[in-house]
Amino acid sequence: MTQTEPEHQKIRPRSKGYYVLPNLFTSAGLFAGFYAIVQAMNGNFGYAAVAIFIAMITDSMDGRIARLTGTQSDFGVQYDSLSDMVAFGIAPALVIYVWSLQSLGRIGWIAAFVYAAGAALRLARFNTQVEIADKRFFTGLPSPAAAALIAGFVWMMYDVGIPGRELNWISCALTFFAGLTMVSNIRYYSFKDINLRKSVPFFVVLIPLLAFILLATYPPLVVFFVFVAYGISGYVLWVIYYIRRHRSREKPA
């Protein structure tokens, strides 16, 4: 007959911890989104827009850091998604609502809600399709790009001194466009298949340098039009794909 081990001497499994480094960047993005909301409530729309762009930077880093350091976790994935909802869903919707859309009354808050709901649905769809989706393309406008589109517009117009109430209908159209495009089936190039280790011609090396020069000239204008171009690019790709498919059907067998 074996003697049972006392209860207090039994070895208990070590509780699973949480990785600090990637979640630290995720927390920074969450803070930036919250800070954007606070600054919008205080009327500092320039600070609010910049905070959203800072959230974009931290969002692009947390996943890469987790992969490089081998610290991926289910907790990090869920935490990142919740942080993105605040920084790229709620924050842009409230910033543009307080700056411009509230002058439209009911239509204004409906537009802001459509954007927020679009961001939530976009993130949910991304999380459920991440394992089966084509890595080269995003389905629907990515929520960080949609947030940059909204924040860039507010930043640019606020910087030149144009009141949001004078641009309320343009703001409304832009907000609806960003919100609905996030949940569309329009495909956007993800840039994930770019190999930075591959040798390239010299002029390709100059592109980042020229981009930094342009960005330094007038950041609000450059950033806004970059994301406008990206937002339109998905529809351009869709038109090209439609034309090619239509021509292929017309070819004789």
Convert the pLDDT of each residue in 3-29 to its tens digit: 454 544 444 444 455 677 888 999 999
**168 close to 100: Cβ distance less than 8 angstroms:** yes
The rounded distance, in Å, linking the Cα atoms of 109 and 229 is 26
- Alpha-carbon span 86 to 88, nearest angstrom: 6
Per-residue CA distances from 193 to 137, 198, 205 (Å): 10, 11, 17
Residue 229 has pLDDT above 70, yes or no: yes
pTM score? 0.84
Residue 195, SS3? coil
Which region among 23-37, 150-164, 215-229 has the lowest average model confidence (pLDDT)?
Answer: 215-229
Instruction: Report all structural domains of the chain as residue ranges with CATH numbers, in order of start.
Output: 18-250 (1.20.120.1760)
Give the C-alpha separation, 118 to 19, whole Å: 30
pLDDT at position 9, please?
A: 47
Q: Which two tokens stand for residue 128?
A: 């459920």
Q: How does residue 209 score in pLDDT terms, banded at 50, 70 and 90?
A: confident
Strand positions, DSSP E, the chain:
137-139, 187-189
* DSSP label at residue 86: I
The count of other CB atoms within 10 Å of the CB of residue 57 is 13
